[in-house]
Amino acid sequence: MAMLKIKAGVEPYRLLIMVAAVGNVAQTLLYPQDVVITSGIDGVHREGSKHYSLNAIDVRTNNFPTAKSKLIFQDSVKVRLGPDYDVVLEPDHLHIEYDPKG
């Protein structure tokens, strides 16, 4: 199965990495519904949000068929992105941000 990859140096690199991970996970899990990115730098977010620095995206989850499918998607995205990314399941979306710990 072909996967989308992004060459280092392409900008905005972190944002594209997150979008590629979401798309690759959706394709791998074969979700029948659309997986929709609902926010990048647009919208209103808390002060200091990583959205404003192109380091966060939100993915709609209210169209996922079950709570378990949301958790599987969250875990799969987290594994794909690795430890430098936070993947947080909010009540109505999955928040993904680049947040290195070291």
Give the model's confidence band at 32: pLDDT under 50 very low, under 70 low, under 90 confident, else very high.
low
How do the domains of the chain map onto residue ranges?
33-98
Is pLDDT above 70 for 28? yes
Q: What is the largest CA-CA distance in the chain?
A: 40
Is pLDDT above 70 for 94? yes
Phi, psi of 23 (to 5 degrees): -65, -40
Instruction: Report residue 16 as tokens.
Output: 């594209």
Long-range contacts of 78-84 (CB under 8 A, 24+ apart): 80/21, 80/24, 80/25, 81/17, 81/18, 81/21
Tens-digit pLDDT profile for residues 5-23: 778 888 888 999 999 999 9
> How far apart are alpha carbons 30 and 51 in whole angstroms?
28
Among the listed residues 10, 4, 21, the one whose alpha carbon sits nearest the alpha carbon of residue 96:
21
Is pLDDT above 90 for 69? yes
For the segment 69-75, the average pLDDT, to the nearest whole number, is: 96
Question: pTM of the predicted model, to two decimals?
Answer: 0.88
Between 65 and 41, name the one with better pLDDT: 65
Is pLDDT above 70 for 87? yes
